[in-house]
Amino acid sequence: MTKFSELNISKSTQDSLKRMGFEEATPIQEGTVTFGMEGKDVIGQAQTGTGKTAAFGIPMIEKIDTSNPAVQALVIAPTRELAIQVSEEIYKIGYGKRARILSVFGGQEISRQIRALKNNPQIVVGTPGRILDHIKRKTLKLDGVQTLVLDEADEMLNMGFIEDINSILENVPAERQTLLFSATMPAPIRKIAETFMKNPEMVKIKSKEMTVENIEQFFVKSQEREKFDILSRLLNVQQPELAIVFGRTKRRVDELSHALNIRGYIAEGIHGDLTQAKRMSVLRQFKEGKVDILVATDVAARGLDISGVTHVYNFDIPQDPESYVHRIGRTGRAGKSGMAITFVTPREMGYLRIVEETTKKRMNPLQPPTSDEALLGQQKVAVETLAEAVQKNELNDYVQFATDLLGKYDATDLVAAALKHLTNEPDATPVSITEERPLPSRGGSGGGRGGYKGNRSGGNRSHGGGRGFSGGQRRSSGGSRDGRSSGGSRDGRSSGGSREGGNRDRSRGGRSER
DNA sequence: AAAAAAC
């Protein structure tokens, strides 16, 4: 391991890195920083969590001339969240040097961004569409760009941004340094590298380091309609500290987060149809631990660096194997272990094997917990909750009631009753998730084998706001300050220890049954 | 077929 102090980095940036707690360079950083500061083009093959942002951020910051008002570096990222995250990290790296940085992305008032661009940022991070928009409005001039970064290039390819990238590149001087990062290197990406880069150096993290070494991978074979109950039971038994549940569609994410709320979990959904403000607030709440479970489409699969995610549940198996790798890469980060559990319907078993071939790792079958095991998990939580309440010693308001009760009932019975009250019977609240991809066997007799794509066109959308459930109040949606039930005393999370001591701030409220 | 991304 090389220390940053051994690399030829300026004092001000060294100070920034120290402030960030960075001492040793990760493999991708070591290679990229060295080549990058020599002015070479670099292809970095690595995923997030490997320290990729600092890998290109350090040489980028080093090259910035703070007395020059022009935009000197441009970073293009596939999603808004990633653009925000990257700009925040580069801001920290450039703090010692006082480099000015701005992120531009869709969904945010463009007038605000135009005003900010007039302050002459030296680094701009953004998503393709909005960058192009600014170029066309002539509010973003790129003639002074010396460093160009394409982050998550394979993802930008998947999303069809290549034309946008080409258009942006037409506005960037040919005389520049280009850094390209991509988790995978499919042919089109190699072609882009050949076209737009000059004798690039490859910095590749060996594949065995690149994926999933410290992620335990399981699959649960289950019918579509069993999935949600199994998920609830798994959550009760495994008690993840922070979990992400991936769903296949935006609608499914809405339904899942709603259903989880009904069952008493603190969950919030995130997908591309939410306003940008909402997306940001949900992500922030999850990072702060005010939300335990993030339910997400693949908008959150890539790049997002959220520390402390202990479990990833693929409620739906992802559409392509690469997406699988990205999704489970949200856990098991920074050397910590993580667990990934993928739901597979019987007909998807063959596809599961294809995913395994890609990751070169077998997934172990996981027996879904029984209802009793799930109950046991709940009971353990209830015991912890009660014990914690006693330790906190903020019970004055209840002492009189307690004394009265003790006069009438047996003490053991009373404690047992309190525990029972704190326990959600697993599966007790009936909740249904719309099956988006009905199995051919149940879609009607005509279906037979070929009925895989049996989505009746336009049909099945009868739900208004109800989303196909009955009962249960929805956590106020909209607004940016919702979901704060139960002030999270979740400190110590950053230290990462498994939280044996309980303090699960999962609200047991909303027991509409009973 | 879905998701993401510009208005």
Q: How far apart are CA A24 and CA A14, in angstroms?
A: 12
Q: Which of A63-77, A255-269, A407-421 has the lowest mean pLDDT?
A: A407-421
Q: Are residues A89 and A218 in the same domain?
A: no
Which of A189, A209, A229 is the last residue before a domain boundary?
A: A209
Q: Are A382 and A415 in contact (CB under 8 A)?
A: no
Interval A467-485 mean pLDDT: 31
CA atoms within 13 Å, Cβ hemisphere of A254? 18
Whose C1' is closest to the CA of A107: which nucleotide?
Answer: B6
Interval A274-298 mean pLDDT: 93
Q: How much is the pLDDT for A509?
A: 32
Q: Which amino acid is at A18?
A: K
| Per-residue buried b or exposed e for A372-392, using 16+ beta carbons within 10 Å of the residue's own CB | ebbbbbbebbbebbbeeeeee
For the CA of A31 and the C1' of B3, the distance in angstroms is: 33
Residue length, chain A? 514
For the CA of A162 and the C1' of B5, the distance in angstroms is: 12
Q: How far apart are CA A152 and CA A46, in angstroms?
A: 9
Task: Label residue A134 exposed, middle or buried (CB < 10 Å: 0-12, 13-18, 19+).
Answer: buried
Q: Is residue A512 part of a domain?
A: no
Q: Is residue A360 part of a domain?
A: yes
Torsion over CA: A83, A88, A89, A94 (sign): positive
Phi/psi of residue A248, nearest 5 degrees: -80, -35
How big is the CA angle at A43 (ends A42 and A49), to the nearest 5 degrees?
Answer: 110
For the CA of A329 and the C1' of B4, the distance in angstroms is: 19
What whole-number percentage of chain A has pLDDT above 70? Answer: 80
Q: What is the CATH number of the domain that holds A51?
A: 3.40.50.300
Whose C1' is closest to the CA of A108: which nucleotide?
Answer: B6
Whose C1' is closest to the CA of A130: which nucleotide?
Answer: B6
Give the mean pLDDT of chain A. 80
Q: Are residues A204 and A275 in the same domain?
A: no
Q: Which nucleotides of B are covered by protein (CB under 7 A)?
A: 1-7
Q: Are residues A155 and A242 in the same domain?
A: no
Q: How far apart are CA A368 and CA A370, in angstroms?
A: 6
Q: Are A124 and A71 in contact (CB under 8 A)?
A: yes
Interacting residues of A475 by C-beta distance below 8 A, sequence separation 6+: A261, A268, A482, A483, A485
Which of A160, A190, A209 is the last residue before a domain boundary?
A: A209
Q: Which residues pair with A246 in a beta bridge?
A: A296, A314
Q: How far apart are CA A46 and CA A207, in angstroms?
A: 9
Q: Are residues A245 and A231 in the same domain?
A: yes
Q: Are residues A116 and A248 in the same domain?
A: no
Q: How confident is the model at residue A432 (pLDDT cuts 50, 70, 90)?
A: low
Q: Is residue A509 part of a domain?
A: no
Q: Are residues A125 and A183 in the same domain?
A: yes
Which residue is nearest to the C1' sugar atom of B4, using CA?
A: A159
pLDDT at A22 over 80: yes
pLDDT tens-digit map of A317-360: 998 888 888 888 888 776 677 899 999 999 999 999 988 887 78
Q: Are A219 and A261 in contact (CB under 8 A)?
A: no
Which of A190, A209, A228 is the last residue before a domain boundary?
A: A209
Q: How much is the pLDDT for A426?
A: 52
Whose C1' is closest to the CA of A106: which nucleotide?
Answer: B6
Q: Are residues A288 and A437 in the same domain?
A: yes
Whose C1' is closest to the CA of A131: which nucleotide?
Answer: B6
Of residues A47 and A405, more confidence is placed in A405
Which residue is nearest to the C1' sugar atom of B2, using CA?
A: A249
* Domain span including residue A291: 213-400+409-504
What is the three-class DSSP state of A289?
coil
Q: Are residues A287 and A186 in the same domain?
A: no
Q: How far apart are CA A142 and CA A153, in angstroms?
A: 20
Give this prediction's pTM.
0.73
Q: Are residues A198 and A229 in the same domain?
A: no
For the CA of A297 and the C1' of B3, the distance in angstroms is: 7
Which residue is nearest to the C1' sugar atom of B5, using CA?
A: A129
Q: Are residues A496 and A391 in the same domain?
A: yes
H helices within A329-460, ranges in order? 349-359, 371-392, 396-408, 411-422
Distances (CA, A) of A11 to A5, A6, A8: 9, 12, 9
Q: Is residue A124 part of a domain?
A: yes
Q: Is residue A510 part of a domain?
A: no
Residue A154's closest CA among A184, A194, A178?
A184
Whose C1' is closest to the CA of A437: which nucleotide?
Answer: B1
What is the three-class DSSP state of A155?
helix
For the CA of A140 and the C1' of B2, the distance in angstroms is: 32
Q: Residue A201 is encoded by which pair of tokens?
A: 């150096």
pLDDT at A392 over 70: yes
pLDDT at A473 over 60: no
Which residues lie near nucleic chain B, judged by CB under 7 A? A 78-81, 105-108, 110, 126-133, 136, 158-161, 248-252, 271-273, 297-299, 319, 453, 455
Q: Which amino acid is at A462?
A: S
Q: How much is the pLDDT for A48?
A: 67
Q: Residue A62 is encoded by which pair of tokens?
A: 């080093």
Q: Are residues A236 and A299 in the same domain?
A: yes
Interval A163-175 mean pLDDT: 93
For the CA of A287 and the C1' of B6, the distance in angstroms is: 28
Number of folded domains that form chain A: 2
Q: Is residue A511 part of a domain?
A: no
Q: Which residues pair with A313 in a beta bridge?
A: A245, A341
Q: How confident is the model at residue A437 (pLDDT cuts 50, 70, 90)?
A: low
For the CA of A102 and the C1' of B4, the distance in angstroms is: 22
Which residue is nearest to the C1' sugar atom of B1, using CA?
A: A453
DSSP A3: B
Q: How far apart are CA A215 and CA A286, in angstroms?
A: 21
Residue A285's closest CA among A299, A271, A268, A302?
A268
pLDDT at A502 over 60: no
Q: Residue A75 is encoded by which pair of tokens?
A: 């970073």
User: Would you put residue A303 in left (φ > 0), alpha (ψ -120 to 50) or beta?
Assistant: left
Q: How far apart are CA A394 and CA A391, in angstroms?
A: 8
Phi/psi of residue A177, nearest 5 degrees: -105, 135
Q: Are residues A205 and A236 in the same domain?
A: no
Q: Is residue A169 part of a domain?
A: yes
Q: Is residue A478 part of a domain?
A: yes
Q: Residue A341 is encoded by which pair of tokens?
A: 């559990």
For the CA of A272 and the C1' of B3, the distance in angstroms is: 8
DSSP A334: T
Whose C1' is closest to the CA of A298: which nucleotide?
Answer: B3
